[in-house]
Amino acid sequence: MKTTKEYTDDHQVKITAEFEQDLLEQFKRRAARKIAKNTRIPGFRPGKAPYNMVLNHVGEASVIQEAIDLLLEEEYPKVLDQEGIKPWGPGNLENISSYEPPIFEFVIPLEAEVALIGDDKLNKEYAPEAVTDEEIEQELERFKRNFADVVPVERAAKEGDVVYFTLEGTDKNAVDEDAVIIKETPQQVLIEAEDVKRPSEWPFEGFNRKFIGKKAGKSLEFEHSFPEDARDESLAGKTVKFVANLQEVKELQSPELNEEILQQIGDYETEEALREDIKKAIENRKNTEYDDQYFTELVDELRENSTIKYCPQQLEDAEEDMLHQVEHHLSHQGMDLELLLKLRKQDKETYIEEEIKPHAKNRLERSLIMNELTRKHELKIDEKVLEAEIQKIIGQMIQSGELERAQKDLGAKKFSESVTMEAYNRAMGQAQFELLKSLANPDIIQVEAPKPKKVSSKTKISTKKAEAVPEKEEADKTEEETEE
């Protein structure tokens, strides 16, 4: 077999393979025997028809096509080995330029390549913000609000009040009887603090704050221009004139946190215990948000400095995965992609081009960077860390009541594999974050951890005790890599 190769600009390789003429003839006869077993040829038992009779019965073209399939199945791996090719996925037979001798032209997508640059020059202080007393007080006030008395007041409305009003909306640019979009209807809203973000607020974000400084008996008139992708389709793309007649202002009078209220909130014995839990919750939320941004910025810094090569098929695969995830997420919200596109007045091709592709590209490249960083720094997961993560996942599933349903839907083996892989992904993600943090903050004193063991892909879990029980067999020598 003679082969030549030519690399393309899109990280694929074109291989031209010339096979011996006798090889094709051998596979033609093997193909004829296979066809004869599966085709009824008059006068012959299955598989017993002579070669020429098969040719006459089904035609030489059918025999050649079957022969090519058989030849590729056996010889294609040898082509890859001979040229030292590591494919990302299946190659494509682009052309058969000759049958005498057989000359096949393949285009093969290559495994991604990352030349990691800059991991030794990362420098980014790790400094998440501390929880402030003001944040604790705001969260505590939200708890109190659930038990507050609603009391009418004569003053102008302010933050924290509930206002009652009627609302009418008309299309400013409409000239006919269809101008009324929102018929006059009674409404009530809570005036939120300015820093509270409510993107789903109706009819638009920040609407509730229009009533600040207004007294009952007053009318408010204001306009708002809605984007084409507004959540409310009846308002999308329109400039709407609103008229609100403020009827009543009520104040929320929050009670003192007595023993009864503390018990209802969460079985707390003291207000200090509640405050401590509030502080921990805010701290966890802020740290998670900070860590996500910190991690992403460091990975993107590496992306900018490094060289990443991957084939178009790999990006297409990432796009398809992301689209499936979007559809899955929408289904949990009682929506589907078709409805989302209708609300946005957008076709699927545009949505994929503008929304899916950029995010899929970012995710793929970040994943490739982290995979290479993991390989370069020989990052592995300790057995005990994996076992602890498995127990945590099982515990979460027990608390949420999802354990029995998941076991039933997946079966024991798949459930075990799924939980183990999820635990591995979480543990690896945390390990990758800690690695990046240590690279960006080399002066931080690190406590040296015990040398990690290789994680076996044959780790088993017991859902009864929520334990990880590794088999005694030698761990697999193939290191698993996970995406970001």
**Residues 234 and 365 placed together within one structural domain of the fold:** no
**Residues 220 and 356 placed together within one structural domain of the fold:** no
Instruction: Dig out the tokens for 140 from the structure.
Output: 């505590």
CA nearest to 35, candidates 18, 20, 48, 23: 48
Q: What are phi and psi of 190, to 5 degrees?
A: -95, 130
**Residues 333 and 396 placed together within one structural domain of the fold:** no
For 220, which DSSP code?
E
The residue from 350, 376, 402 where one domain ends is 376
**Residues 7 and 67 placed together within one structural domain of the fold:** yes
Region of poorest pLDDT, from 85-94, 140-149, 244-253: 140-149
Residue-wise burial string across 242-279, b where 16 or more C-beta atoms lie within 10 A, e elsewhere: bbbbbeebbbbebeebeeebbeebeebeebeebbeebb
What pLDDT does residue 459 have?
36
Q: Is the pLDDT of residue 474 over 60?
A: no
Euclidean distance between CA atoms 372 and 380, whole angstroms: 13
**Residues 181 and 322 placed together within one structural domain of the fold:** no
What pLDDT does residue 177 have?
63
Q: Looking at residue 57, which CATH number applies to its domain?
A: 3.30.70.1050
Q: Is the residue at 262 inside a domain? A: no
**Residues 98 and 162 placed together within one structural domain of the fold:** no
**Residues 320 and 219 placed together within one structural domain of the fold:** no
What pLDDT does residue 454 have?
40
* Domains contained in the chain, number: 5
> Environment class of residue 149 by beta-carbon count within 10 Å: exposed (0-12), middle (13-18) or buried (19+)?
exposed
Of the CA atoms within 13 Å of residue 313, those in its CB half-sphere come to 14
What is the tens place of the pLDDT at every residue in 440-455?
998 764 544 444 444 4
What is the tens place of the pLDDT at every residue in 63-78?
999 999 999 999 999 9
Structural domain that includes position 134: 115-148+267-306
Other Cβ atoms within 10 Å of 389 Cβ, number? 22
Mean pLDDT of the chain: 88
Q: What is 47-89 written as a DSSP string?
A: T-S-HHHHHHHH-HHHHHHHHHHHHHHHHHHHHHHHHT--BSS
What pLDDT does residue 24 have?
92
CA torsion through residues 414, 416, 419, 424, sign: negative
What is the tens place of the pLDDT at every residue in 187-231?
999 998 888 888 889 999 999 999 999 999 999 999 999 988 788
Residue-wise burial string across 158-193, b where 16 or more C-beta atoms lie within 10 A, e elsewhere: eebbbbbbebbbbbeeeeeeeeebbeeeebebebee
**Residues 103 and 8 placed together within one structural domain of the fold:** yes
Q: Is the residue at 260 inside a domain? A: no
What is the tens place of the pLDDT at every residue in 271-307?
999 999 999 999 999 999 999 999 999 999 999 999 9
Q: How far is CA 473 from CA 26, 109, 373, 454, 459, in A?
A: 44, 36, 29, 12, 10
Q: Is the residue at 258 inside a domain? A: no
Q: For residue 37, which amino acid is it? A: K
Q: Looking at residue 186, which CATH number applies to its domain?
A: 3.10.50.30
**Residues 22 and 97 placed together within one structural domain of the fold:** yes
